[in-house]
A = this chain, B = another copy of it.
């Protein structure tokens, strides 16, 4: 059963950047029923730019997460425009004002939601793609005894330097727009959106995706049509401050950068107790298979299984791509069928 989205309020929530939010909120949606033993909960945090309704296509008896068996909680990341974000909270800002959200913030807030609303102390799985995978790794490291399994698709537990350059290019392109004031936007960044979408499109699918003209098979008339309708239109739906805020989170992603691990990235990965499926896209250009393999080797019970796909980063969210969806479904079912450690 799918209910409408709900909001969970957190009073005086202290963020890692130093700001205390008088009232933060997480918006979430649940699918299925929580078992009496509260042992069938799957947490599914959102990815960059996405809201819960953008990523829930895979929650279905025949797809990756079966809501007949699992109680799936899709939680919106801070900054995405539904949970607390610059677009809906005056006290929120951007890194220019020394304000940012971290995944440490996201995961601590999610933990309170699970306990206070549902009484869930252990998660059967955290499932996440991209920035969702980053949150999944944070869950595993920050609450080792409370996460039985992790499915981390196309994400790393720490943002690599190369990935940072990509993010800096996105940030610089959006803020090149005349509507940028130095601390925010005083209008719609028409040109910024245009540049932003083209950078994203260049990185998110592989060279082979373009070489084989897969965008034609998706119904676009031309490369320009694909860039405009397939990419730019989606980002234009998002508040530009929120787009920057989510980049600010991504730039700071490091599972060891928090008061628990105090910079010990390797220690944080080594602390993960969950059975962990590390599942990059074989052609992902920014969360590369190589970077994911190194992290898998640092996690005690990790399986490294790349998705053999030319969809690049998008292999991990294959709503237009049944072949990759089937590969992921099989791997996730195997993971779920293994007993918890």
Question: A-side interface residues toward B, CB under 8 Å?
Answer: 160-162, 164-166, 168-169, 172-173, 175-178, 180, 189, 191-192, 194-195, 198-199, 201-203, 207-211, 213, 223, 227, 285-286, 288, 290-291
The smallest beta-carbon distance between A168 and chain B, in angstroms, is 5
Complex Cα gap A164–B227 (Å): 11
Contact of A227 among B160, B168, B177, B285 (CB under 8 A): B168
Complex Cα gap A210–B159 (Å): 12
By secondary structure, the A interface counts as helix
Interface centre among A161, A202, A209, A290 (most CB of B within 10 A): A202
Complex Cα gap A164–B223 (Å): 9
Complex Cα gap A23–B126 (Å): 67
The reply to whether B223 and A161 contact each other, CB–CB distance below 8 Å, is: yes
Complex Cα gap A13–B164 (Å): 45
User: Cβ of A210: which chain B residues have Cβ within 8 Å of it?
Assistant: 160-162, 165
Complex Cα gap A320–B113 (Å): 53
The reply to whether B202 and A169 contact each other, CB–CB distance below 8 Å, is: yes
Contact of A198 among B169, B180, B198, B208 (CB under 8 A): B169
Contact of A172 among B161, B180, B198 (CB under 8 A): B198
User: Cβ of A211: which chain B residues have Cβ within 8 Å of it?
Assistant: 160-162, 290-291
User: Cβ of A290: which chain B residues have Cβ within 8 Å of it?
Assistant: 207-208, 211
The smallest beta-carbon distance between A199 and chain B, in angstroms, is 4
Closest to A198 in B: B169
Closest to A210 in B: B162
Complex Cα gap A168–B177 (Å): 16
The reply to whether B195 and A165 contact each other, CB–CB distance below 8 Å, is: no
User: Cβ of A291: which chain B residues have Cβ within 8 Å of it?
Assistant: 207, 211
User: Cβ of A161: which chain B residues have Cβ within 8 Å of it?
Assistant: 210-211, 213, 223
Closest to A286 in B: B207
The reply to whether B207 and A285 contact each other, CB–CB distance below 8 Å, is: yes
The smallest beta-carbon distance between A162 and chain B, in angstroms, is 4
The reply to whether B173 and A172 contact each other, CB–CB distance below 8 Å, is: yes
The reply to whether B172 and A195 contact each other, CB–CB distance below 8 Å, is: yes
Complex Cα gap A166–B201 (Å): 9
Interface centre among A177, A198, A210, A227 (most CB of B within 10 A): A198
Beyond the given A160-B207, A199-B199, A207-B290, please list 9 additional residue pairs across the A-B interface where CB-CB is below 8 A.
A161-B211, A165-B223, A172-B191, A172-B194, A173-B195, A176-B192, A180-B191, A207-B285, A285-B285
Report 9 cross-chain contacts, Cβ distance below 8 Å, ordered by A residue.
A160-B207, A160-B211, A164-B223, A169-B198, A169-B199, A169-B201, A172-B173, A175-B191, A176-B195
User: Cβ of A173: which chain B residues have Cβ within 8 Å of it?
Assistant: 169, 172-173, 176, 195, 199
Closest to A191 in B: B176
The smallest beta-carbon distance between A53 and chain B, in angstroms, is 27
User: Cβ of A223: which chain B residues have Cβ within 8 Å of it?
Assistant: 161, 164-165
The reply to whether A227 and B165 contact each other, CB–CB distance below 8 Å, is: yes
